[in-house]
Structure 1
Amino acid sequence: MATKAYAALLRGINVGGSRKVPMARLRPLIEGLGHGDVRTYLQSGNATFTSGHGDEESLAAELSAAIEKEFGFAVDVIVRDHAYLASVVDACPFPADSLEGRQLHVTYFSGPVAPERFASVDPAEFTPEDFRLGPRELYLYAPDGLGRSKLGAVLSRPALNRGLIATSRNWNTVVKLAEMTGA
């Protein structure tokens, strides 16, 4: 199997003083699984690496199990390859070049997302906020940022995301991870 570049997106770590996963400990953990070129980005659970074995799902499961063993708590992990990450950047339905990174977010899902899942959410009720679905991602335009987004709060409800792992990143991080896996 040829070596491919991936990003691992860890959900819900290093927030509010709990579930600490120091990036300085995450890098050697990933290397110990046999992966190369390991780098981390920010403290919010983003790592890139290369691997010649496995697929996105098996790599995510492997990393999640290793984190639980090392740190003593379960962490949901989504792994995506460079081609997918670049396609998310290229397919952005909003004018990313004219927005601040904090105004645009992508929620990555562990599997495909049918439009019916979000049919009960009427974007017109949240104007100027808006969202669009991709195959395994959701783009959110929140002009006042995610922390103040009423639409973001509705879209993150557990009922809408049932059966899937979902984790969000701001546009700056989305672009950076695509760049890091493409180098």
Structure 2
Amino acid sequence: MTKYIVLLRGINVSGKKKIKMSQLVAMLESLGFSEVSTYIQSGNIVLKSNVASPIKVSQIIKEGIYTTFGFDVPVLAKTFIEWKEIIAQSPFEEHNDLETKKWYYVLLQETPCKELINNLQQEQFANERFVISNSCVYLYCDKGYGKAKCDNNFFEKKLQVTATTRNHRTMMQLLEMGKQISEQ
């Protein structure tokens, strides 16, 4: 079985697309996923599956959410190995907790086209810096994400890919949760 970290985009935000985590876990288990656990109410999931493709896992969950809850939600799945690699490749250096609150990971569903990456890397923004990899945009927001021009929608538009963003703390928590799942 493969361990996955799964991210849902845009649930339980401003009272829209509400999903109780207990109902989400029950739905995922009914779809054949095991050792399902969630972190906070914004759609962060750790689970195991016999399905070997992250894209297929995303499709199964996306269809399950539509059938069960009646709305379309972008779903991004990464294997636990991919997750560890994304964190290991981060250009962020460990500092104090205040610094880590300015670090964000814009996780990409697919690899953007090289031309779009090159064009975006030419742009610069006050108080924001980013590094683009094949699977993630590492974003530093000096003034915090709430005031950032380079938000999730910005990167989706510029790179023409589906993405979802998580802060450093959430990334590390999901990493720890993934370590707790058995290897069998």
* TM-score normalised by length of structure 1: 0.89
SS in 1 for 2:38: strand
Q: Which stretches of structure 1, 4 residues or more, deviate above 4 A after TM superposition? A: none
Q: How does 1:96-111 map to 2 (within 5 A)?
A: 96-98=94-96, 100-111=99-110
Q: Which runs of 5+ in 2 are unaligned?
A: none
What's the counterpart of residue 129 of structure 1?
Answer: 128
Q: Output one character per residue of 1:118-171: Cα deviation in whole Å (capped at 9) or x when no partner.
A: 434467742442000111110000022100113337x72553142x22100000
Given that 2:80 and 2:178 are in contact with CA atoms closer than 8 Å, whether structure 1 keeps it comes out as: yes
Residue 176 of structure 1 corresponds to which residue in structure 2? 173
Give the SS at the match of 1:27: helix
Q: Distance in 1 between matches of 2:51 and 2:155?
A: 35
How many Å separate the matches in 2 of 1:22 and 1:101? 29
Amino acid at match of 2:128: E
Residue aligned with 2:4, SS: strand
Kindly indicate whether residue 60 of structure 2 is the aligned counterpart of residue 25 of structure 1: no
Change (3 A) 1:168 1:21: same
Distance in 2, Cα, partners of 1:14 & 1:104 = 22
Matches of 1:96 and 1:123, distance apart in 2: 27
Q: Structure 2 counterpart of 1:182, which letter?
A: K
Contact 1:86 1:178 (8 Å CA) reproduced: yes
**1:143-154 equivalence runs, <5 A:** 143-152=142-151
- TM-score, L = length of structure 2: 0.88
Note the aligned Cα RMSD (angstroms): 2.0
Q: Structure 1: any 5+ residue segments left out of the alignment? A: none
Paired residue total: 179
Aligned-pair identity (%): 28
Q: Secondary structure at the match of 2:6?
A: strand
Which residue does 1:141 correspond to in 2? 140
Counterpart CA distance in 2 for 1:123 and 1:151 is 14
